[in-house]
Amino acid sequence: MKKIVLLSFCLTLGLSVFGYQSNNTLARLQTLIDSVYDSSTDFGGATIGMVDQNGTSFSLSVGMADVEAHIKMEPSHVLLGGSTGKVFVSSSILLLVQEGKIKLDDKASVYLSGNAWFPKIQNSETITIRNLLQHSTGISRYVFNEQFQKDLPLAPDRVWKPEELLSYVFDEKPLFAAGESFAYSDTNYIILGMIIEKVTGKSLWDFIDDKIIKPHHLTNIYPQNSRTIPSLASGYSSDTDEFYPGKVSENGVYKQNVQFEWAGGGYAMNATSLSQMAKLMYEGHIFSASLFDDYFKGIEAVGLGGQWGLGVHMRQTPFGMSWGHSGFFPGYITSMLYFPDKKTAITVQVNTSDPTKLSLFRKIQRLIPSLLKELE
């Protein structure tokens, strides 16, 4: 959405093979994480998942999964991944490109023009698959529509249809002509999800499960198809959040049906699983590396810094070049990073999105150079 346990695997011929991680390295990593945590000033908790250059996974946690109930955060806890779920959608599109079922420069109208509502989409006749993946469509964000924000809390168990989500931007003036600039928009990925379902004849979640999650033995990744999420850590939002203020989930149940995010994110996961996905994806084991020239061809990510490819944010960090995606959902923040020079993935998740309570998240981010050094 807006703005911002213990498994190991190696990669052989593109397949995930499970093995064991070094307990000594794990202990050193945990000591580093513990060293920055201050229970008197840091709110909530964090999970940290890492996969090193050899494909070995490390799972860590610190702090509290539920502050009031004094439940400690565990590496196996699941948090809502927000927009990081888009990497499953972009990877699905690239798999369909690889199979010759979609072309990146096809217009979206090739797949969706049969719907009576399609002409109401901004730039409907000119947007392409590439534009949608790269957020260069000029389409507005439905989640920021004032009427949507009023409607969302009215029916906590409502199951939203994709076209209902799109309806909040019908007939709006485009932000710019398709392909002329960058504007991050969840609406782009709702359209991509609909195209995936149209081409495959499967539900989006079933296609991702069949083509990505099951074949690569990814675990602890759950579609957000109800208010209840297995192993979900409690989430804490800002008291002034426009969607859900305060404590947003408890005992694995969210205040509202999180299904509405759908292809705009739509997954809950733990940090290690998401790092495993990053390792597989950015090393050519989800879709073919023959598509990398297109995938990593970036445009300026206006307002975010760096470059945006076909579902990947590329930017220089104090720790080197990174590829990845961030995610926000009220109560949760996720940062998934892959460092190509080190062939290492690191994901950090925290169970608060309150900007006044993110000291732990910031301290762990600053710790990344030390974590990377431990994995060399």
The whole-number pLDDT of residue 13 equals 27
> Given a cut of 80, is residue 17 above it in pLDDT?
no
Domain that holds residue 114: 8-374
Element (H, E) at 71: strand 71-72
Chain centre distance of CA 26: 25
Pairing of strands 15-19, 332-339: unpaired
Query: Is 108 part of any domain?
Result: yes
- What token pair was written down for 12? 């052989």
First to last CA, the chain: 33
- DSSP designation for 303: T
The whole-number pLDDT of residue 15 equals 31
Query: Is 18 part of any domain?
Result: yes
Query: Is 101 part of any domain?
Result: yes
Query: Is 3 part of any domain?
Result: no
Query: Is 68 part of any domain?
Result: yes
The whole-number pLDDT of residue 241 equals 84
Could you tell me the pLDDT band of residue 18, with boundaries at 50, 70 and 90?
A: very low
Query: Is 204 part of any domain?
Result: yes
Among 97, 11, 51, CA closest to 346: 51
Q: What is the mean pLDDT of residues 248-252?
A: 97
Q: Which residues pair with 337 in a beta bridge?
A: 324, 346
Query: Is 1 part of any domain?
Result: no
Q: What is the mean pLDDT of residues 85-113?
A: 98
Q: What is the mean pLDDT of residues 314-329?
A: 95
Q: How many domains does the chain have?
A: 1
The whole-number pLDDT of residue 21 equals 60
Q: Enumerate residues 6+ apart whose C-beta is below 8 A from 338.
A: 278, 279, 282, 322, 323, 324, 344, 345, 346
Query: Is 2 part of any domain?
Result: no
Could you tell me the pLDDT band of residue 42, with boundaries at 50, 70 and 90?
A: very high
Q: What is the CATH number of the domain that holds 108?
A: 3.40.710.10
The whole-number pLDDT of residue 319 equals 87
> Given a cut of 70, is residue 5 above it in pLDDT?
no
